[in-house]
Structure 1
Amino acid sequence: MVLTASTMLPLGTKAPEFHLPEVVSGEKISLATFADKKALLVMFICRHCPFVKHIQHTLAQLGKDYFNSDLGIIGISANDAQNYPNDAPESLKEMAIELGFQFPLCYDETQATAKAYTAACTPDFFLFDKERNLVYRGQLDDSRPSNNKPVTGADLRAAIEAVLADQPVTSEQQPSVGCNIKWKPGNEPSYQ
């Protein structure tokens, strides 16, 4: 495990397009899937990472809390499934069902979507407004597996609430930290 921080993609960046298979239904998910939503949260997560395991129940609760809201949510795993079989689509499907995810969990086999978003770690969060401009990228909260702080989701939830209320999101944002994305050999991005 290599402790890695978010790249902190510049605020205002347009959400890159994606077309990814959802691991439970097999349905293709894209930006258009969320066209009617006021905001979109793109989360890069996986199954094996201790940082994701630490917050997985909070992520599931986030999906439940915003299920019938103007927030669209998508989880994406881009890890190399050959070398990390716990992050293969079948295993991700088990995770989504066990945790009761109320949002699509997709697998980015080519890792092109992770690169387009400059995802660097799991978890890595990107929140976009109605025009799909980036308004938040950073941590869920300041809890980590080793610091004994409670998992609240406070930072991300504050940003979500601001966007949904047509309020500005604070530009003081702390990077997320976690395990590095497990890139396929020879596929490492230049920003790493």
Structure 2
Amino acid sequence: MAALNPPVCDFDWQAPHFTLPGTDGRHHSLPDIAGENSTLVMFICNHCPFVLAVMDKIVRDAHDMKALGIGVVAICSNDHVAYPQDNFENMQLMAEKHDFPFPYLHDAEQEVARSYDAVCTPDFFGFNKDLGLQYRGRLDATRMNASPAELRRDLFEAMKLISETGRGPEEQVPSIGCSIKWKA
């Protein structure tokens, strides 16, 4: 398994719109989940060790972000036929197990991942209130293994800055993770 890094932030790139089914039985669109101050769109999956290593931190940060008027959504775009652990039923189990405070959406056709140029899981896209990209970096310095909770919260601090100023940090460290599992 080779780890991948997404490209650096393309400041003010506009978030592509989407409507996808969620594990909560509803369809969600970008305007539905957009926050008053900013919005985080993240691409995750159920089996990636990089995602699993930070899952508790993702949930913690999502709770803290929502309190700041930041909308949060997670999308699974992996090929669920070749990787059945990422199928919709297993997504529902993951969302329930971790009590996700955000919609967890299924991008079965992978169109949303392609429109965002998502590369890996996790891949974080932080947008300002006008849905211009301001952050494309890591959650924190955790890699594939769990790490101490006291690491600098890069994603949370960036999203807090975006919610307060509309601009993301100039310096960003790319996320790292497993490649999105594209359909053949």
Could you tell me which amino acid in structure 1 is paired with residue 75 of structure 2? I
TM-fit CA distance, 1:6 = 0.8
User: Where does structure 1 lack aligned partners over 5 or more consecutive residues?
Assistant: 186-192
* 1:89 pairs with 2:88: yes
Q: Runs of 4 or more off by more than 3 Å in structure 1?
A: none
Preserved CA contact (<8 Å) 2:65 2:160: no
Cα separation, 1, equivalents of 2:144 and 2:35: 36
Could you tell me which amino acid in structure 2 is paired with residue 150 of structure 1? P
TM-fit CA distance, 1:100 = 0.7
Between 1:61-70 and 1:75-84, the stretch displaced more is 61-70
Instruction: Tell me the equivalent position of 2:21.
Output: 21
Instruction: Tell me the equivalent position of 2:33.
Output: 34
Could you tell me which amino acid in structure 2 is paired with residue 5 of structure 1? N
Preserved CA contact (<8 Å) 2:10 2:134: no
Q: Secondary structure at the match of 1:4?
A: coil
Superposition RMSD in Å:
1.6
Could you tell me which amino acid in structure 2 is paired with residue 111 of structure 1? Q
* 1:3 pairs with 2:6: no
Instruction: Tell me the equivalent position of 1:141.
Output: 140
Could you tell me which amino acid in structure 2 is paired with residue 100 of structure 1? D
Preserved CA contact (<8 Å) 1:9 1:118: no
* 1:158 pairs with 2:157: yes
Preserved CA contact (<8 Å) 2:121 2:178: yes
Preserved CA contact (<8 Å) 2:140 2:152: yes
- The CA deviation string for residues 134-192 of structure 1, in whole angstroms up to 9 with x for no partner, is 0000111111125x74354611111111112226322111111100000000xxxxxxx
Instruction: Tell me the equivalent position of 2:125.
Output: 126
Cα separation, 1, equivalents of 2:35 and 2:45: 27
Preserved CA contact (<8 Å) 2:121 2:176: yes
What TM-score results when the alignment is normalised by the length of structure 2?
0.93
Preserved CA contact (<8 Å) 1:136 1:169: yes
User: Where does structure 2 lack aligned partners over 5 or more consecutive residues?
Assistant: none
- The CA deviation string for residues 9-53 of structure 1, in whole angstroms up to 9 with x for no partner, is 511100011111002x22111111035521000000001000000
Q: Secondary structure at the match of 2:101?
A: coil
Cα separation, 1, equivalents of 2:119 and 2:32: 24
Preserved CA contact (<8 Å) 1:7 1:118: no
Cα separation, 2, equivalents of 1:8 and 1:96: 29
Give aligned-pair identity as a percent.
38
Preserved CA contact (<8 Å) 1:63 1:102: yes
Could you tell me which amino acid in structure 1 is paired with residue 148 of structure 2? P
Cα separation, 1, equivalents of 2:39 and 2:152: 16
Q: Secondary structure at the match of 1:175?
A: coil
Between 1:40-49 and 1:8-17, the stretch displaced more is 8-17
Instruction: Tell me the equivalent position of 1:69.
Output: 68
